[in-house]
Amino acid sequence: MNRRDFVTSTTLAAAALGLPEAAHALDSTSPAPAMSDSTQATPDSPRATRKILIAGGGFRTKFIGYMAQLTGKTRPRICYLPTASADSPQSALGFYQACAPLNVEPYVQNMYIESLSQTQGFDEVLLSMDAIVVSGGNTLNQQAIWKAQGVDLILREAWNRGIVLGGASAGSLCWFDEGTTDSRPKALSIVKCLGFIKGSHSPHYDAEAGRRPLYHKLIGSGEMQPGYACDNDAGIYFEDNTVKRVVHTRAEAKCYYVSVVNGKVEERVLEPEMI
């Protein structure tokens, strides 16, 4: 429906009910868009094997290729969500370049859209995919935008349906309860996320000097739950909340489980396989 028809129909309906302010009230108080009836997420929706593939950084061709294998499809449809990068065209171009050697059908779904050009709902797009890759960038902003648009609920439905989810940096952090982020000014801090994977996460573990000591400090003090840290080019494949495989694309890159054992922070290496 175009804007003129929308305004006309709502004004006529309001007049018939004797509510001259109804159209204004609708516009100013309406919640985030709901999913269409055919794809509405419910707590009782049937669940397939729930799959998430993360990396600490560097979710490029080999990781996307492994994600494609996890879908079980010959030519899977893989959607890229560059929300954390503010829908950066350079980020989207990098995704297309990473997909170029693979037998996949790449697609980019921006969040900075308007009604007349976005002809499908976010649910219609995302739930039609075989896999969804999330970009790096600002995790705090990403979470706020997803919640405002109802995308957090759609991603949970995608996870429950067995659509493979993943990414690196903000694209790995977003799936956990919480983690360390550079999304705020001045210093690394804690960000709360979607909570699909229980516990915490630290990406870029070997690439940014402040990551490891802060992660140890927060877990040791009890401010943050135990969790998983990943070097750049190393990652973990989860089914539900179970680690099924640890992988890397660079020999030195590793993953870790960090927790408190006998009152001290323990960092246990999860030895990866090359992909």
pLDDT at 11 over 70: no
Flag whether pLDDT at 150 surpasses 50: yes
Give 26's pLDDT tier (boundaries 50, 70, 90). very low
**267 in Cβ contact with 216 (< 8 Å):** yes
* Residue 21 in domain: no
User: Which among 169, 183, 200, 202 is annotated as catalytic?
Assistant: 169
What is the pLDDT at residue 46? 58
The pLDDT value given to residue 180: 87
Whether residue 68 is contained in a domain is answered as yes
Other Cβ atoms less than 10 A from the Cβ of 183: the count is 18
> Is residue 50 pLDDT above 70, yes or no?
yes
User: What is the domain range of residue 91?
Assistant: 48-274
**Is 26 inside a domain boundary?**
no
Cβ atoms within 10 A of the Cβ of 140, count?
Answer: 18
Task: Please indicate, yes or no, if residue 29 is contained in any of the structural domains.
Answer: no
Residue 162, domain member (yes or no): yes
Q: Is the pLDDT of residue 41 over 50?
A: no
Structure tokens at 20: 């001259």
- How far apart CA 273 and CA 275 sit, in angstroms, is 7
CATH number of the domain enclosing 156 = 3.40.50.880
| Among 170, 163, 140, CA closest to 54 | 170
User: From the candidates 201, 204, 216, 248, which is the catalytic residue?
Assistant: 204
Which helix (H) or strand (E) segment holds residue 256: the answer is strand 255-261
How many structural domains are present in the chain?
1
For 126, half-sphere exposure in the C-beta direction (CA atoms, 13 angstrom radius) is: 33
Kindly state whether residue 206 falls inside one of the protein's structural domains.
yes
Examine residue 139 and state whether it is found in any structural domain, yes or no: yes
Quote the tokens at residue 245: 């495989």
Give me the mean pLDDT over the 165-183 stretch: 93
Known catalytic residue: 204? yes
Whether 34 is in a domain gets the answer: no
